[in-house]
Chain A
Amino acid sequence: MISWFRRLAWLLDRRRFEAELGEEIRIHEEMAAEQARHEGMAPDEAGFAARRRVGNRAQLAEAARDVWRPPALGDLGQDLRYALRGLRRQPGYAAAAAITLMLAIGATTALFSVLDALLLRPLPYRQADRMVQVWEHKRTSDNRENLVSPANFLDWHDRARSFEHLAAYTWSSLPLAGNTPAVVYGRMVTGNFYSVMGARPALGRGFLPGDTLVGAPRALIVSHALWSTRFGGDSAVIGKPIPLREGSAQIVGVMPEGFRPLGSEEYWEPWPMQSDLRTRRGRYAMVVGRLRTGAAAEDADRELKGIAAALEQEHPKFNAEWGTRVVPLGEQVTGGARPVLLLLAGAIASVLLIACLNVANLRLGQVLARRTELAVRTALGASRTRIIRQMLAEGLVLAAIGGALGIIAAIAGVRALVAAQVTLIPRLEEVTVSLRVLVFALGLTALIGLAFGLAPALALREDALRQPLSRRGGETGSAPRARRLRGALVSVQVALSLMLLAGASLSVRSLGKLLAVDPGFEPGGVLTVELELPEEAYAGPGRKIAFYETLVERVRGIPGITDIGLVNFLPLRGFTPGTGFQVVGRPEPAAGQAPSTQLIVADPGYHQAMGTPILQGRGLTPADQLGTPRVILVNQAFARRAFPGADPIGQRVKVAYAEPDSILSIVGVVADMRRDGLDVEPAPMVVYPFRQYPFGYMTLVVRSSRDPEALAPAIRAEIAALDRSLPVLGVETLESRIHATTADRRYPMLLLSLLASLALVLSAVGLYGVLAYLVGQRAREIGIRKALGASRGAIARLVLGEGFRFVLLGVVVGLLAALFTTRYLGALLYGLAPNDPVTLGAGALILLAVAALAAWIPARRALRVDPAVTLREDG
């Protein structure tokens, strides 16, 4: 397009151009007049004749200007109309191309919306890039995000210089009384919490020191959602007492809509940092901070590590081997999802590419077929620029249609995604098709349009446009090149499809292997019901035991129930408390070196209800109660860890929980359960008998021979019969719990499978197109060969051979590429190597089968070619 530079030169220097042209014309006149005089004309008559010859000077100048001016836009309208007419004449091709583009552009736009909300848009806090989360972590453990000790937090708060504000929070619950008793969950937050968040209540006020005085009602700031649903959005509720089960609370403020920075909390209340929090006992808080201007997260990290080291020295028993970790908040929120999202982005980009290649192939085939028409149009008056402009117009129109439909599809898809509340995607509520996403989608569409419009035109060299076919059925110079180009496009599609197929297959098989893992219990037919006894009404161990055991007996009577038990923390809930232990008779371990174990509290019926066998010794019995010797069960992992090769029954241990100095006897070994995840090896665990350590918060585990969900109303009725005002916190079957834990693998797997299927279909269509074209082109040749007696096999080989060469090339390249890229499946893989040969091999076979299917119709057509007909047509 060098001519455009020259046009620019003209634009910038018009006066000189016009002056020079004027002079040139004048000289021309002079020469013509001179010639006329030479031939005998009188001088002034000669001059007159010369001027007349030149004609209308103004018109000439205008014509010259027209040459330099960029082409008129009016032509563009004609090009567009012509393009639309062309598309209307080939509805099949137009529909196929438009739908392909719609799917590709739509999917890419939807994904970009998610990426935009997650990775590009800053968190909705003031200067969110200055906010960090602080964790503790034990150096000897894998868990890098351990809860924080409030005492340590206070020391950090006093000593650290890198933070403008540092706040801590922990869980709290609110038993609301009234017509519909309910328990809502919130957080206790230290006073400067809102300074860290950079937020203020929309209504009412923040916390004041007076709110934490003894005897005052609990002061609350509630979320906008809770205020709307529970309190009707009535601003008069601020300052009025709210009845609780015991005592009352008072709403002092309401936060703006959408403010829920700590997860799903419904309210916040102050957490006064009383002096007794400085005794180091337990880690149960989380810490957020706002960095001082000028300080970076790494600086804060370093400083806190230094402070932690000092604390290790000052309080060795509690802090030995404990360090800190500072994580920028953005990374905290989206970090886990990032690798999967990037993987999916790669997959969608591949499908987009395949789709575009398909449409490009379609167009290329079109253009090839129209070669002679273009040749004549060139001869009879259309300049190459014009033809290219028309091709461009066609490409743009196709892309525009596909793009418009795709954007609409993306908007609908994103709405559906948000409505489905896929928990895998953090910040989901912020995902919309924003302006930036729209611009991206339009840019993508324009780019695709340009590529389509120009590519075929550029692929056909200029002489191809001028060279008419000399005889039917022959192929001129550009055609083999174009055919190879089309074949290469198919190879690329096949390779990409194989990569996607490999990824999808691996993730499907991984999920299968994961679900095949024995969780250590029998999930089928089990319902769990979560309850919490308020401390005020059920103070003391006796009342808790009485309530729960009565409940168990009553529920046991419901028909259809085979087993029933109690436990405080169910497996696969993402949370099990842990602590250190020590075997009696062995030397006391150094500070921080004590082995750790998980611990739960359960009743005698629990393991039977879960379907987990007792392997050695005995289970818990009602005889294990207050006043009798302290006993515990341990799991196999504990036995392996603490007593390798020996019999753990009868051994005695001390556990740093409740009464750390009491000695516990091991009376039984229970089978391992997968508590932290199906893919996480079981950790050592001890089981305390409920009667010796009654909890207020317990979960009923009920096994039934009937559908467990059907039992829920009956169980609720029994609970209500014992205590009307006791809310049920959660009812869930174990099967749905297992289902939920695999969600973060399942969604990507489904998406990958969908994309791989889409890729296969598109590639098959592309292959079909190329083969059909080949068969059409070589019909004459096939007819001749048949007339000469070629076998069906030979014919098939002739036609399909070339096509399949491209497929095989694609398969080989695809396998090699898959070997490199499947490692990025990362967390999605389980129990399989990224290069698992069985999976990859199966993928290649599937692809070849699909290719064979795509080739079937053209092959049949080739075999059906009637030699007599083709020879006759030859003329």
Chain B
Amino acid sequence: MGASVASLDLFQGTLDLLVLKALSWEPAHGYAVATWIRERSDEAFLVEEGALYPALHRLERRGAIASEWGLSENNRRAKYYRLTARGRALLRAEASHWDRYVGAVGRVLRAGER
């Protein structure tokens, strides 16, 4: 079957990180979060519902985001999420953690190159 794609999941937190960043602008419902991520990444990331909602629930469980019901643009009931203070801190931590991690990996990868 030739070369297969080894999963390059840096950590599950990548998605968490993206979601937190998305909500750092303003509260939004799930669909808007996915749209934001998609546009912001220039179509690189299409987050499927199957991944998005578990991530949202995970973050909510950890207290990083809070939710409440509201009305969407086309007058439908939708669950809006917003970043809590804890979430903001988590975002900073995750972002820097991610940076360091990626940096460390990069250092190994660049070893031997001029």
Contact = CB atoms under 8 A, between A and B. Distances in A.
Indicate if A touches B (C-beta under 8 A). yes
21 contacts: A3-B1, A82-B50, A372-B46, A373-B46, A375-B44, A375-B46, A376-B46, A376-B47, A377-B48, A377-B51, A378-B8, A379-B9, A379-B45, A380-B9, A380-B51, A381-B7, A381-B9, A383-B7, A468-B44, A469-B42, A469-B44
Interface string A358-387: 000000000000001101111111111100
A27 to B, nearest CB: 24
B75 interface: no
Interface in B37-83: 39, 41-48, 50-51
A471 B5 contact: no
A380 B14 contact: yes
A293 interface: no
Interface size classification for chain A: 20 to 34
Which 3 pairs across A and B sit closest by C-beta, in order of nearness?
A468-B44, A381-B9, A384-B4
A220 to B, nearest CB: 72
Nearest to A383: B7
A375 B7 CA distance: 11
Contact of B5 (A372, A378, A472): A378
A385 B43 contact: no
A674 interface: no
Instruction: Identify the interface centre among A2, A384, A472: most chain B CB within 10 Å of its CB.
Output: A384
A87 to B, nearest CB: 15
B6 interface: yes
Contacts of A2: 1
Given A380-B14, A380-B15, A468 B43 contact: yes
B39 to A, nearest CB: 8
Given A373-B48, A376-B47, A383 B42 contact: no
Contacts of A376: 44-48
B108 interface: no
A776 to B, nearest CB: 16
B35 to A, nearest CB: 13
A462 B42 contact: no
B7 to A, nearest CB: 5
A466 interface: yes
A462 B4 CA distance: 7
Interface string A461-484: 010011011111000000000000
Contact of B2 (A379, A462, A468): A462
A1 interface: yes
Given A376-B45, A376-B46, A468-B45, A1 B5 contact: no
Contacts of B12: 381
Nearest to A468: B44
B3 interface: yes
Interface residues of B, number: 23
Interface string A688-722: 00000000000000000000000000000000000
Nearest to B9: A381
Interface string B88-110: 00000000000000000000000
Contacts of A468: 41-45
A383 B15 CA distance: 17
A380 B47 CA distance: 10
Contacts of A375: 44, 46
A466 B5 contact: yes
A1 B44 contact: no
Given A380-B14, A380-B15, A380-B51, A462 B46 contact: no
Q: B5, B8, B44: which has the most chain A beta carbons within 10 Å?
A: B5
Given A376-B44, A469-B44, A471-B42, 18 more contacts: A375-B44, A375-B46, A376-B45, A378-B7, A378-B8, A379-B9, A380-B9, A381-B9, A383-B4, A384-B4, A385-B4, A462-B3, A466-B5, A468-B44, A469-B42, A470-B42, A471-B43, A875-B39
Interface string A375-410: 111111111110000000000000000000000000
A462 B44 CA distance: 16
Interface string A736-775: 0000000000000000000000000000000000000000
A383 to B, nearest CB: 5
Most buried by A among B1, B2, B42: B1
Contacts of B45: 376, 379, 468
A1 to B, nearest CB: 5
B58 to A, nearest CB: 14
Contacts of A1: 1
B107 to A, nearest CB: 21
B7 A382 contact: yes
A78 B2 CA distance: 25
Interface in A447-502: 462, 465-466, 468-472
A383 B5 contact: yes
A373 B43 CA distance: 9
Nearest to B1: A1
A474 to B, nearest CB: 9
Contacts of B14: 380
Contacts of B7: 378, 381-383
A462 B43 contact: no
Interface centre among A380, A384, A385, A472 (most CB of B within 10 A): A380
Contact of B43 (A383, A465, A466, A472): A472
B82 to A, nearest CB: 24
Contacts of A379: 8-9, 45
Contacts of A377: 48, 51
Nearest to B50: A82
B33 to A, nearest CB: 14
A384 B5 contact: yes
A471 B38 CA distance: 11
A376 B48 CA distance: 9
Given A3-B1, A380-B14, A469 B43 contact: yes
B12 to A, nearest CB: 7
A465 B5 CA distance: 9
Most buried by B among A2, A82, A376: A376
A515 B55 CA distance: 73
Contacts of A380: 9, 14-15, 51
Nearest to B44: A468
Interface string B1-26: 11111111100101100000000000
A383 B1 contact: no
A89 to B, nearest CB: 10
A875 B38 CA distance: 13
Contacts of A82: 50
A775 B39 CA distance: 23
Contacts of B15: 380
Interface in A819-875: 875
A373 to B, nearest CB: 4
B18 to A, nearest CB: 10
A469 B3 CA distance: 21
B17 to A, nearest CB: 11
Contacts of B39: 875
Interface string A408-439: 00000000000000000000000000000000
